Structures are given as C-alpha cells and as structure tokens.
Chains A and B, each alone.
Chain A
Amino acid sequence: MASVDGYDAVIGLEVHVQLGTESKMFTDAPYYFGAAPNELTNPVVMGMPGTLPVLNKRAIEKTIQVGLMLGCEIPQVSKWDRKHYYYPDMPKNYQISQYDQPLCLGGSVEIELDGPSRNVMGEHRRVSLTRIHLEEDVGKLTHVADGSLVDYNRAGAPLIEIVTEPDIFSPEEAFAFLTSLRNTLQNAGISDCDMEKGQMRCDANVSVKPVGTTKLGTKVELKNLNSISGVRNGLRYEIERQIRELKAGATIVQQTRRWDAEAGVTSLMRTKEEAQDYRYFPDPDLMPVRISEDWKSQLAEGLPELPFDRQRRYMADYSLPYTVTAVLCSNRQLSVFFEEAIRQHNNPLAIANLITNDLLRELGAASSGSEGEDGERRSLDSLGVSAVGVADLVAMVDKGVLSNQMAKEVLSGMIATGQSPEAVAEAKGLRQSSDSGEIEAICRQAMEENPKAVQEFLAGNEKSINAIKGRVMKATQGKANPTVVDQVLRKLLASG
C-alpha cells in the first residue's frame, strides 16, 4: 500500500466495456464505430411504442466468457431489470440492466505492479471483483450553441459493467488493473477496449484514511476519466485533494466529481443528496437466462491462454527476456504472430527480437507517432508482413545468407513491396558471400594493401584487424559474410 502524507488511499473501479458483437443487445440492428449519426437505429433502438427487446445470445456468451476468464462464479439463473432515469440519450428512459442476479459474481484480475527496474518483472497480485453484469449502452449527447444533438447509434450496444471491490490502493495499481483487464479482454476477442472510441470507460470511487486505521473514509466518485492514464492522473489529483482537505480540518462529503484532463483538476458534479432512485424492477419483457453446465464448458473451451500465463510460458519455455515477453504479451496479435513465426523457424529469441525491435519500430514509423500514450498500437496487418515472412527472414540470417544489417534492409523492402524476403533480397542484390575461397583472395589483397595494419595486428593490436576487414567489406560491397571474413583473416594472419 502506497501511503501519501500519512494517508492510505482505497480505490474501487467500475469499468464499462462494449462487447464487440455484430448486433445490438436487444435487437438485430448492427453496431460498429464510425457510422453517420443515428444510422444504426431501428424502432426497437429508438424505443418506439410497442417494440420489445429480445436477447443477444452472443453478448451473453461473451459475458460468461469474461466471467470464466476472471474466475467468477456463473450462477445458474440470471435476470434482467429496468433501471429508470430520465435523460435524452436514453430512448426508453429506462436502461435494461441487471440488478440482483448478474451473470458473473466475484472473480479477480491479476495485475503486475512496477518492478525494481524496467527490465525486471514486478510483483503480481489479484484485485477482487464484486460482479460483472450485462446491460445496454445509451446514446450520445453533444451540446452545440443552440441546443443539444442526440446520436442513438451507441444506444442499445451490449455493455458489460465490471465492478471491483475496494481492493486497489494506488493510482498506479488502478493503471495496472486497467492495463491488465484490457489485455485480457482484447486477447480473448471480447472487445477492442479502445477508450478513445468509448469501447472501455471507467469510473472510480476513491477515499483516503489515516495510515494504520481500518475504517474506510467517505468515498468520492470520479467521472470523465477518458483514458487509462486519465484514471491514474485523476486519482493522483483526487487523493491529494482529499488529504489536503482533511489536513485543513475539513470533512469529505460523499459526492461525484468530474476529472478535467486539460486543467488537471477534479470539480464537483453533484452531492449524494441529489442521488437518484432508479426504481429497479424485473423487466417483464425478458425471461431470465438459465445457464447450464454444458453451455458453460462449451464456452470455456473457446477461451485463449491469459496474457500473464502466456508471458510466464515464454520466459520459461523460450528463455526470452522479461522485457521482450512484456511487449509480445501486451497484444494478442503480436503473440499470435510470434507463435506462428516460431512454428515456421525455431529461433524464438531472434524472432522475438525482430518483432519487438524492428517490426514495432517500423509500425511506429508507419503510424507516425499516432501511438497513444496508453500503448494502443496500429495493427500489425497494416505493415503487410506475414509471420512466415519474418520466420524466413530470420532463417536466412541463421543460414548466413543475410547479415543482420542486410536483414534490416530486407525487412524495409518487405514492408514497402509486400514481397517475400527471398524476393526482396534478390531484387536488391542482397546476399552475403560465404565462399571462403573467393573471400580468401580478397583478404590476401587487402592484407597486401595494408601492411601497416597487418604489422600492428601481429604486434598485438587486436583492433587493427578492423581496418583490413573494412577493406574487404568495401571491396565486396558489404556482401561478404563478416563471420567468414573474420575467420579467413585470422587464419591468414596467423600463418603469416
């Protein structure tokens, strides 16, 4: 627990995640990001009189899968309730949600805390969850000069709400929680979790209490935390604010505050007195869902390995360094790409290095700085390089056909043209010579042209060999295999 100024913070998060289903939660209207306003609607989405909801089975399945991945209890029966409040972005003025019988109970998310250095794995622990329930998203309101505009595209999109216990104790842990949760959900194809697109949203409850005490302080709810760093920064500010208030002798009032990322402050939205009565009651239009053991095990079968499990396996089975596995396992696509490549050519370290260094650098260059601070990367697909291509490239280096330097050039060519490494190397005339007979002749000539370097080397100046090597490489236009050149030169020099 990270104490600040004699106080400990206690944090609970409510994370909303849109499930990437083709259709909406209670109707067959399609849902995707980026459509023209109010295009993704139908009479059900608009809450037209007489319309009725029907359940999206895929959304229920995805929620159960999330629960299974996070070790939740999946009850046999789950039901649907109406939550009432008036807001123009809600077509029915009630939201179909789950009140007392959600799809998932309990569970936890494994998080990694900061290690002693960037190169060393930090401590891991599990953050407990209260529940996960499924509900429908609401529309989006935009305020303009002469009124407000409503876009109902998002209304009715399947949304899960993941509620944690007050089991997070610093802004950094909250950051780690969201990062881990996002990786886990992305990894399983549950959601893209893009916070900029509103696919993942987070509200935080935070309170502080004097170090060593057990009674929780009065909590404040933080809203408008629009990125994972926003959650961390908003919490940092709010914790300091609460401590400052308490030290000044004030008391914390239960309230909801809004984080302003630009100004870097939170401000009051409403106090508890204004809290709403949602008048929950079971939705008479929907029957409860019964979840059989068979259905559960069927859904469990489709689940991928969790990112942290995969990372531990990469470190154990392939002896990959922590930093490399951290990058590979931060993204499902990267790890799938990596595993496909090593099936083709068994050199995990070289392939992992090529992916995490060269390929991601190219990706960074291609997206010209659009990589968000939360590490959201452009898709590998956009580079047009296949895992097989990368495997073949590393294999060419391993066979001595290409030098490491040449390999980088070939990779650029692969990205530029979409061709195989063989074709790129061929077109660019990149192929290192490992013919020791041919290389020996060039080495002899280079030695003759550099008698001084030869003498110095024989006198014990090891570095002098580089001057001769430089000659050889220049004469071969860099195509001689440096390893072979080194071997040949040393043999010739030794034999005088």
Chain B
Amino acid sequence: MNQDSLAYLPASKLARLLASGELTAVELSRAVLERAEQLNAQVNAFLGWDGDDLMAQAEASDKRRKADKALGFFDGIPVALKNNIAVKGSLLTCGSRMLESFVSPYDATVVERMKAAGMLVWGRLNMDEFAMGSSTETSYFGSTANPWDLTRTPGGSSGGSAAALAAGMSPMTLGSDTGGSIRQPAAFCGIYGLKPTYGRVSRYGLVAFASSLDQIGPFGHCVEDVARMMEVLCGVDPKDSSSYPAPVSPFHAELELALTGGRPMVLGLPVEYFKEDGLDPAVRRAMDEVVAYYKEMGWQIKDVSLPNSHLAVPTYYVIATAEASSNLARFDGIRYTHRSESASDAVDVYFKSRGEGFGEEVKRRIILGTFVLSSGYHDAYYLKAQQVRTLIRNDFSKAFEEVDLVLTPTTPSPAFVRGERITDPLQMYLNDIYTICPNLTGLPAISVPCGFASQNLPVGFQLIAPHFEEVRLLTAARAYEKGNDWHTRHPAL
C-alpha cells in the first residue's frame, strides 16, 4: 500500500489492517512520515517530529503484534499531539517563543495512557500561542493552512491537529479545547472533534490556559475513531484533582447498541442561536438539512431556550483570562523559559523576558485577566462572571429536562481567510459563540461534519450532552454519519 491510499483511512480501519496482518506499523509509519514531509511545507500543521523515534516505536509495535502481545486495538497507530501536551524528552513550545527551547521532563497522563495502549506518540502540532486564538495565527512559529483552501485558516487553537488529520498527515491527533479549540477547527476542516466532559480526561501534562475550562480531546475521521480514542484517554487520574471517576466502558460498542436498540432521541435547538445575524446562510442551510435528516429518522426536534447565552462570550473572556493570567505567571525568565539577554536585574528579567517571550494576543489576555482579578475589580468582574456561569449552567440543566441533546452550529461561518480577522480580536472572539458554553458548563460536545459551503469549505454542527453522557453524544453523531458521507470527502492536496 502506498501513502496516498493509506492517508485518509480512519484509524480504526488501519487498526484492523494491522490486526489482520495486511499492514505493518512500520509500513504505516513510513507512509505517514512521507506524507507529512511532502505536505508540511504547504500546511505547516507540524512544528516538528522525530522520524527515527516514530520508526523505532513502529518496530516495537510490530514485534508485539508478531508475538501476539498487542497492547490494544490501536497498537501501532500513530497519534500526533498539539504542542501543549507534555511528552518526555520532547519540545513543549505551546506555539510560543517563551518555551521555544523547553524540553518536557515528563509525560502527560494521556501520553502514558496512549503508550500503554501501544499507540505511537509522535509529532508536535502547531497551535495558537498558549491555545489563545481561533485561527492558529498567534503561533510564534507561523500560521497553519486549511487543507481545503490553503489561503484560509484551519481554525484554532488546535489548528495544527485538525489540519494534520484532515490532510491525512496523521491518522489520529489530539487537541485541547478551552472555548471551542477542538470543535471549531474540526468544523473548519471537515472532521470530527470531541471535547469530553470536564474531568473525563486528565489534564496532567496539558499546559494550562484556563484550568476550569481546559480538556484534551481527539480528532477523527469517523465516529468510531473518536469513540475508541476516548476509551484510551478517559479515566480518573490521581495526579489531577479535577479528574472524575466516571466509568469508562467500550464506548464504540455501546453506541452501536444504543443506535439499534435505543429509543428515538429528542434534540433541542436553542432559539437564541438562530436569531443571530452573524449566522452565515450556508451554515443555516446545512443546519436545516441536519434537522431534516434527524426528523426523517423519526427523532424529535424541539425548541429550547438558553436565555443567558448572550452572556457566554463576555463571561468566558473574564474567567479564561483571569485563570490564564495566573497560569502563565510561571513563565518568568528565571528557570526554563526564554530569558531576555538584555535584562540587568531580577525585575528586569521578568519584564523583558515576558515582554519578548509572549506574543500580542497572550499579552492582551494576561493584562485583561490581571485587571479582572485585581483588588477593587475582582467582585465586579471575576465574581460576577462566576455567577453568570452558574446561570448558564442552570439554562442547560433546564434544557436537558426536555431534550436528550442540544443541537447547534459549531461556528457561525465556514473557515475565514488567513489574516482577515487577526487584527480584530472582538470579531475573532465571536467565532466561539456556540462552542464556549460547553466549556463554561463542563458539558461534553462534538462537532460533526455536515456539508460544504461554497468554495468547498466544510461546515460542522455541534451536539451537546449532559455531563458524562459521551455515549449519547456519539450515538447521535453516528446516527447522522450512517446516512451521510461528508466525512468521507477529503481535500485535494
């Protein structure tokens, strides 16, 4: 098999080929490396990789397979990581000059879990600096292109992860999602992207942007890939106090069972989301078709109200920046970060190193976060935002009394042109309007590819489930996948 025939195969399909002996991990990894080498100059999805290390891992996997000692379904499948997830001995830049030469001394818990499952952890994927952005344009290492249209953004902040998967450069990638950073790029790139329930996946080893909102999650070519990857990633972690001991079961099998044996579901459409003037006609059209599809299946569509959703974006930008200003305080030029050459004393080290090490967007958010936490403003901003957060959580609890899942567009519009919005932060922030609530509430959500706007630009819809109901989420996504083939279309590269 050559690289092009393998490039867009879902990871679960590749895993079956490995299991049947039709493919080896070495062959697969060689193909992945060749394609990444061939395409990265155009796409800039990867900040770097260690090919020798990937091949060594592949050989070890083949050896295990031969000895009938495969560690799991995905043994031998390469998985590339957003560069804010720690891999021992590997650069952990977070897309920032601040950490340009920082090598992680430890593995993130998800990395340990994937290695224990035999997966081949490789490649550092581009991202908005410290995950702050919606276009992968704030990366210190240059922006990433959308494989469907290289002049456009793949979204962000996990733009590298989405672009790499969509371009067939790695059969599996991980991103992190603080306000939509997995789902928005998944929608822009025509693939699946899931943000798990807060507490489902350990955050240990994920460089914190906003601790109460961050979750690691997978991108995939199909629902099965995402479901099976969740089985690898999920589970309580003693190193993360916010991880929750929810049961982890064979999600991929459960969702098939639910699909055949389960009752028709009730999907809720938030009326507020469709009043938005900013909603692109192409996205609105795609949503109408999604609704029609589910109705045809016999599922019920119901209007629900999320009356406080107009407060989500400002609430998010208070809480996320407050936490970020604290989390990023450790990058100070003293220990392992960029240190200014021209600093004259300790205070100067702080000012100059941070001044040089952080980009504009990161500085903007640190300043905003510092302000909202400062004495005299704390109650008016941070405390108020936490109160609104509770109101938004209550809105969803109420909605889930009537519906099984909430259905929304993932983004107001398809991928925009690179450079178009980077100078207008407010316009950029509004991109997250539909994706922010699951982070503020901790709810799990998935973006599902559902068609194309003009110029062949992918569109996605979002499903939101109650806490720890990932199987319900995946079941509905699979129901849609069965009758649609959007996910099988790939960019011409």
- Within 8 Å by CB of A52, from B99, B203, B378, lies B203
Residues B63-122 near A (CB distance < 8 A)? 84-86, 92, 94, 99, 102, 104-106, 108
What is the interface size of chain A, counting residues whose CB is below 8 A from a CB of the partner? Answer: 29
Contact A281 B212 (CB under 8 A): no
Contact B105 A281 (CB under 8 A): no
Contact B105 A48 (CB under 8 A): yes
- Within 8 Å by CB of B335, from A82, A91, A277, A286, lies A91
B354 to chain A, nearest CB (A): 10
With contacts A92-B330, A279-B370, A281-B382 known, is A50 near B86, CB below 8 A?
A: yes
A274 to chain B, nearest CB (A): 13
- Cα–Cα, bound, A77→B205 (Å): 29
Q: Does B374 contact A (CB under 8 A)?
A: yes
With contacts A55-B241, A94-B329 known, is A49 near B105, CB below 8 A?
A: no
When each residue 291-323 of chain A gets 1 if its CB lies under 8 Å from chain B and 0 otherwise, what string results? 000000000000000000000000000000000
- Within 8 Å by CB of A43, from B105, B238, B325, lies B105
- Cα–Cα, bound, A54→B243 (Å): 11
Contact B332 A281 (CB under 8 A): no
Q: Does B40 contact A (CB under 8 A)?
A: no
Q: Does B206 contact A (CB under 8 A)?
A: yes
- Cα–Cα, bound, A93→B346 (Å): 13
Contact A84 B329 (CB under 8 A): yes
Q: Does A53 contact B (CB under 8 A)?
A: yes
- Cα–Cα, bound, A94→B102 (Å): 21
Which residues on A sit within 8 Å (CB–CB) of B370? 279
Q: Does B239 contact A (CB under 8 A)?
A: yes
Which residues on A sit within 8 Å (CB–CB) of B346? 88, 148
When each residue 79-104 of chain A gets 1 if its CB lies under 8 Å from chain B and 0 otherwise, what string results? 00010101010011110000000000
Contact B106 A43 (CB under 8 A): yes
- Within 8 Å by CB of A54, from B210, B238, B326, B375, lies B238
Q: Does B336 contact A (CB under 8 A)?
A: yes
B288 to chain A, nearest CB (A): 39
Which residues on A sit within 8 Å (CB–CB) of B86? 48-50
Q: Does A46 contact B (CB under 8 A)?
A: yes
Which residues on A sit within 8 Å (CB–CB) of B350? 86
Q: Does A285 contact B (CB under 8 A)?
A: yes
Which residues on A sit within 8 Å (CB–CB) of B238? 54
Q: Does B242 contact A (CB under 8 A)?
A: yes
B368 to chain A, nearest CB (A): 13
With contacts A49-B102, A50-B86, A88-B346 known, is A277 near B241, CB below 8 A?
A: no
Which residues on B sit within 8 Å (CB–CB) of A50? 84-86, 92, 104, 108, 204-208
- Within 8 Å by CB of A285, from B99, B211, B322, B335, lies B211
- Cα–Cα, bound, A147→B242 (Å): 40
Which residues on B sit within 8 Å (CB–CB) of A286? 241
Residues B139-179 near A (CB distance < 8 A)? none
- Cα–Cα, bound, A487→B405 (Å): 104
Which residues on B sit within 8 Å (CB–CB) of A49? 86, 92, 94, 99, 102, 104, 207-208, 330-331
Q: Does B334 contact A (CB under 8 A)?
A: yes
Closest to B376 in A: A277
Contact A284 B211 (CB under 8 A): yes
Contact B239 A54 (CB under 8 A): yes
When each residue 207-251 of chain B gets 1 if its CB lies under 8 Å from chain A and 0 otherwise, what string results? 110111000000000000000000000000011111000000000
Interface size on B, as a range, is 35 or more
Contact B241 A86 (CB under 8 A): no
Which residues on A sit within 8 Å (CB–CB) of B241? 52-55, 285-287
- Cα–Cα, bound, A281→B326 (Å): 9
Q: Does B323 contact A (CB under 8 A)?
A: yes
B316 to chain A, nearest CB (A): 14
Q: Does A47 contact B (CB under 8 A)?
A: yes
- Cα–Cα, bound, A341→B375 (Å): 59
- Cα–Cα, bound, A54→B242 (Å): 9
Which residues on B sit within 8 Å (CB–CB) of A93? 329-330, 332
With contacts A49-B94, A52-B239, A54-B241 known, is A277 near B375, CB below 8 A?
A: yes
Q: Does B11 contact A (CB under 8 A)?
A: no
- Cα–Cα, bound, A86→B332 (Å): 9
Which residues on A sit within 8 Å (CB–CB) of B373? 84, 279-281
Q: Does A3 contact B (CB under 8 A)?
A: no
When each residue 370-396 of chain B gets 1 if its CB lies under 8 Å from chain A and 0 otherwise, what string results? 100111001000100000000000000
Contact A284 B204 (CB under 8 A): no
Residues A265-295 near B (CB distance < 8 A)? 277, 279-281, 284-287
- Cα–Cα, bound, A285→B212 (Å): 7
A312 to chain B, nearest CB (A): 44
- Cα–Cα, bound, A52→B211 (Å): 10
Which residues on A sit within 8 Å (CB–CB) of B335? 46-47, 91
- Cα–Cα, bound, A279→B205 (Å): 25
Select the residue from B92, B334, B370, B374 with max chain A CB neighbours within 10 A.
B334
With contacts A49-B86, A52-B203, A277-B375 known, is A86 near B212, CB below 8 A?
A: no
Residues A53-82 near B (CB distance < 8 A)? 53-55, 82
Closest to B86 in A: A50
Contact A287 B242 (CB under 8 A): yes
Residues B311-353 near A (CB distance < 8 A)? 322-323, 325-326, 329-332, 334-336, 346, 350
Q: Does A51 contact B (CB under 8 A)?
A: yes
- Cα–Cα, bound, A48→B346 (Å): 20
- Cα–Cα, bound, A281→B370 (Å): 11
Closest to B322 in A: A281
A394 to chain B, nearest CB (A): 53
A317 to chain B, nearest CB (A): 48
- Cα–Cα, bound, A54→B346 (Å): 30
Closest to A51 in B: B204
With contacts A91-B330, A287-B241 known, is A279 near B106, CB below 8 A?
A: no
A326 to chain B, nearest CB (A): 46
- Cα–Cα, bound, A60→B222 (Å): 47
Closest to B202 in A: A52
- Cα–Cα, bound, A89→B379 (Å): 30
- Cα–Cα, bound, A286→B326 (Å): 14
Contact B204 A52 (CB under 8 A): yes
Select the residue from B85, B99, B104, B204 with max chain A CB neighbours within 10 A.
B204
When each residue 18-60 of chain B gets 1 if its CB lies under 8 Å from chain A and 0 otherwise, what string results? 0000000000000000000000000000000000000000000
- Cα–Cα, bound, A131→B86 (Å): 39
- Cα–Cα, bound, A46→B335 (Å): 9
Contact A285 B242 (CB under 8 A): yes
- Cα–Cα, bound, A93→B382 (Å): 20
Residues B441-466 near A (CB distance < 8 A)? none
Select the residue from A46, A50, A55, A286 with max chain B CB neighbours within 10 A.
A50
Which residues on B sit within 8 Å (CB–CB) of A92? 329-330
- Within 8 Å by CB of B375, from A47, A94, A279, lies A279
Select the residue from A43, A49, A50 with max chain B CB neighbours within 10 A.
A49
- Cα–Cα, bound, A86→B208 (Å): 19
Contact A48 B329 (CB under 8 A): no
Which residues on A sit within 8 Å (CB–CB) of B84? 50
A160 to chain B, nearest CB (A): 20
With contacts A55-B241, A285-B242 known, is A279 near B334, CB below 8 A?
A: no
With contacts A82-B326, A279-B374, A281-B382 known, is A48 near B242, CB below 8 A?
A: no
- 26 A-B residue contacts at CB 8 Å? A43-B106, A47-B335, A48-B86, A48-B105, A49-B86, A49-B92, A49-B104, A50-B85, A50-B204, A50-B207, A52-B242, A54-B238, A84-B373, A86-B329, A88-B332, A88-B334, A88-B346, A91-B330, A92-B330, A93-B329, A94-B329, A279-B370, A284-B323, A285-B208, A285-B211, A285-B241
Given contacts A93-B329, A93-B330, 6 further A-B contacts (CB under 8 A): A50-B104, A50-B208, A51-B205, A52-B203, A52-B241, A284-B211
Query: 8 shortest A-B CB distances, which residue pairs?
Result: A93-B329, A284-B212, A284-B211, A279-B373, A49-B207, A50-B205, A92-B330, A277-B375
Report B's interface with A, CB cutoff 8 A: 84-86, 92, 94, 99, 102, 104-106, 108, 203-208, 210-212, 238-242, 322-323, 325-326, 329-332, 334-336, 346, 350, 370, 373-375, 378, 382
